[in-house]
């Protein structure tokens, strides 16, 4: 049987790949994609913990379901906001939303 730790390694790596992506991606949509990676990593965690450690109840299972749903909603709003940014600035690069600072 595959140990929980193995899954954890995968999810953690995926999580930080997502974080890395968030930090380096040059445009907003790319950043949004990185967020999806992060959420997937989290989901793996929930599912694996549920499956291997606490199979009595479906807590992690349901949680990951909800995360997927919320992620979808979030993405929808985020994309419409990005489109909005594009409409205003004709640009979706991160550097372009740099008016508000200091």
Partner 1 sequence: METITNLSPIILALPFLMFLFLGLCGNKLFKSNPNIAGWIGTAGLSVVAIVSYYIAIQYFWVEGKGADAYQQFVLFNHEWLKMTDNLVISIGFMLDPISAMMLVVISTVSLMVHIYSLGYMHGEEGFQRYYAVLSLFTFAMMGLVVATNIFQMYIFWELVGVSSFLLISFYFIKPSAVAAAKKAFIVTRFADMFFLIGILILSYYTNTFDFLKLTAVSDGHATLVNNTMCGEMFMGLSVTSIAMFLIFLGGAGKSAMFPFHIWLPDAMEGPTPASALIHAATMVVAGVFLVARMFPVYFFEAHDVLTIIGYIGAFTSLFAAIIACTQTDIKRVLAFSTISQIAYMFVALAVSGYTSEHEACLGYTASMWHLFTHAMFKACLFLGAGCIIHAVHSNEMNAMGNLRKFMPIAHITFGISCLAIAGILPFSGFYSKDEILVAAFEHDKVLYACQAFVAGLTAFYMFRLYFRIFWYSENPAHAHHTPHEAPMNMNIPLIVLSVFTCYSFFNLVSNDSYQLFSSKITADRVGFELETNWTIAIASLLVAGVGIAIAWVLYKEKNDKPDMIAGKVKCLYISASHRFYIDEIYLFITRKIIFGGICVAIAWFDRHIIDGFMNLLAWISRELSYDIRDVQSGNLQQYAWGFLVGVLAIAMFAIYY
Partner 2 sequence: MAEYLTSIDFAGLFTADNIVFFILSAVILVCGFMSVASTKLLRAATYLFFTLFAVAGLYLTLSYEFIAAVQLSVYAGGILVLLIFAIMLVKNLGTDTETISYANKTIAGLSALAGTVFAFITMSKFRFIPSEEANDAAAMVDMEMVGQTLMGTDKYQYLLAFEAVSILLLACIVGSIVIATKSKED
Partner 3 sequence: MDLDYSQFLSMSHEVSLVVVLIVLLLADLLIKNKKAFQYLAIAAFALHTVAGFYSYTDLAGDAFAGMYVSGAAQSFVKNILNVGTLIVFFFSFEWNNNENKSGVGEFFFLTLSTLIGMYFMVSAGDFLFFYIGLETASIPMAALVAMNKKGTEGAEAAAKYILTASFSSGVMLFGISLIYGACGSLYFDEVQAAFTNITALHIFALVCFIAGVGFKISLVPFHFWTADTYQGAPTGITAYLSVISKGAAVFAFMCILYKAFANEPDVWQNILWWLIVITITIGNLFAIRQKNLKRFLAFSSISQAGYIMLGVFASSQTGMSSTIYYILIYMFTNLAAFGIISAIENKTGKVGMDDYNGLYSTNPKLAFAMTLAMFSLGGIPPFAGFFSKFFIFAAVAEHGDYLLVFLALLNTIISLYYYLLVVKAMFINKSDSPIETIKIDAMSRVALLVCVVAILVIGFISSIYMNIYEISFGFAN
Using CB under 8 A, list all residues that contact partner 3: 4, 15, 18, 22, 28, 31-32, 35, 38-39, 41-42, 45-46, 49-50, 53-54, 57, 59-60, 62-63, 66-67, 70, 73-74, 77-78, 80-82, 84-85, 87-89, 97, 99-101
Q: Within the chain, what is the greatest distance between any pair of CA atoms?
A: 54
CA-to-CA dists, residue 31 to 28, 72, 94, angstroms? 5, 15, 9
- The Cα 36–Cα 4 span in angstroms is 22
- Give the nearest distance from C-beta 97 to partner 2 in angstroms: 14
Residues 75-94 that bind partner 2 (CB under 8 A): 75-77, 79-84, 86-87, 92-93
Tell me the CA end-to-end span of the chain in Å, nearest whole number: 53
């Amino acid at each position: 049987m595959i140990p929980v730790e193995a899954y954890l390694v995968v999810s953690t790596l995926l999580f930080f790949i997502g974080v890395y992506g968030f930090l380096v991606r040059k445009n907003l949509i790319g950043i949004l994609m990185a967020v999806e990676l992060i959420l997937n990593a989290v989901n793996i965690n929930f599912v694996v913990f549920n499956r291997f450690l606490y199979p009595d109840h479906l807590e992690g299972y349901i949680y990951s379901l909800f995360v997927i749903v919320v992620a979808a909603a979030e993405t929808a709003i985020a994309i419409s906001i990005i489109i909005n940014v594009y409409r205003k600035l004709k640009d979706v690069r991160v550097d372009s939303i740099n008016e508000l600072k200091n």
